[in-house]
Amino acid sequence: MSSQTPPTPASPSATDTGALRVTRLLLPIVVLAVGTLAWELVVRLNNIPPYVLPGPLAVLRTLVADWPVLSQSLLTTLLTTLEGFIAATVGGIGLALLFNQSKWLEYSLFPYAVILQVTPVIAIAPLLLIYLPQQTAVIVCAWIVGFFPVLSNTTLGLNSVDRNLAGLFQLYGASRMQTLRLLKLPSALPYILGGLRIAGGLSLIGAVVAEIAAGTAGAGSGLAYRIAESGYRLNIPRMFAALLLLSVAGIVIYGLLALISHLVLRRWHESALGKEN
């Protein structure tokens, strides 16, 4: 063999991955900037009145000007979402644990959990508003859409216990509670956290749907209610501002839950480990 050895490149991997990371952060920001700029230009060049389509600057101005009203509504919606989310978490995990302990209970109730999930919540909300006080109805809506992913993920997790580990617990005479606490729940944790991540966003959707449905009754004060109200008043910039806040709230909720999941699992679970491991 008489081929020449090619010159070895000075280890490019470190700088490459760094540059890639910056690019991945930068690209969506560039898209946002270009999109916003185009939007503003279209509105200005065509002299579109704000009650048809406000430009992004007008939306921002409204956001600042209406902040006292909007922040109050944001708080209301976030509180509802949080309550719905907590109810979904407790309900989903609790039901999954019950189902895991008793097959009879699972066979009896699981079909209804599915029915509750596949029936569009927007169709259930008006009914709930008839029978429940408005605030309760809104939370129930958030719960209905949020609990199912928690329930099904937790069930999946509880059933994914390593067979040999289960045998080991049996060999050492573990009680039901010990098996649940030391084996089943930790095994199910990554699945539960995955379910919570979905439930967080869905709770917000549930809260918004219920507020919209209640909005016509005129008693609400959440962000979705503001959107509906502003729509009737042709206050389009405020609609956009409220929508922007809802969007940001959704992103923050998802980010927070993803962060919690990462922090809890980072020492042991594949999903939270770096790719090089």
Partner 1 sequence: MAEPASLTDTDTDTAIAGLAVSLRGVTKVYDNGVVALGPLELSVRKGEFVALLGPSGCGKSTALRLIAGLAAPTSGTLHLSHRQGETRLGRTIGFVFQEPTLMPWTSVKENVRLPLTLARAPAAEADARVNEALTRVGLSEFADSYPRELSGGMKMRVSLARALVTDPDILLMDEPFAALDEITRFRLNNDLLALWRNLKKTVVFVTHSVFESVYLSQRVIVMTSRPGRIGAEIPIDAPEPRGEDFRTSAEYAQLCRKVSAALAPSYSGQSAL
Dist CA 93 CA 48 (whole Å): 51
Tokens of 221: 């004060």
Q: Which residues have a Cβ under 8 Å from the Cβ of 223 and sit 6 or more positions away?
A: 70, 73, 74, 76, 77, 208, 211, 242, 245, 246, 249
Q: In the bound complex, what is the minimum distance in angstroms from residue 223's beta carbon to partner 1?
A: 39
Q: Which is nearer to partner 1, 23 or 170 (CB)?
A: 170
Q: Is 99 exposed, middle or buried (0-12, 13-18, 19+ CB in 10 A)?
A: buried
**Contact criterion met (CB below 8 Å) for 224 and 246:** yes
User: What DSSP letter does each residue of 173-201 carry, written as one string?
Assistant: T--HHHIIIIIIHHHHHHHHHHHHHHHHH
User: Least distance from C-beta 179 to partner 1, angstroms?
Assistant: 9
Question: What minimum distance in Å lies between the beta carbon of 189 and partner 1?
Answer: 7
Neighbours of 123 (CB within 10 A): 10
Of residues 18 and 186, the one with the C-beta less far from partner 1: 186
CB of 158 to partner 1, least distance (A): 15
Q: How far is the CB of 170 from partner 1 (least distance, A)?
A: 6
- Per CB under 8 A, residues contacting partner 1 are 162, 164-165, 167-174, 178, 182-183, 186-187, 189, 267-269, 273, 277
Q: Which is nearer to partner 1, 46 or 277 (CB)?
A: 277
> What are the distances in angstroms from CA 223 to CA 215, 227, 247?
10, 6, 11
- CB closer to partner 1 out of 110 and 169: 169
- Cβ-contact 142, 88 below 8 angstroms: yes
The nearest distance, CB 149 to partner 1, in angstroms, is 22
Query: 15 vs 170, which CB is nearer to partner 1?
Result: 170
Considering the complex, state which of residue 61 and residue 269 has its C-beta at the smaller distance from partner 1. 269
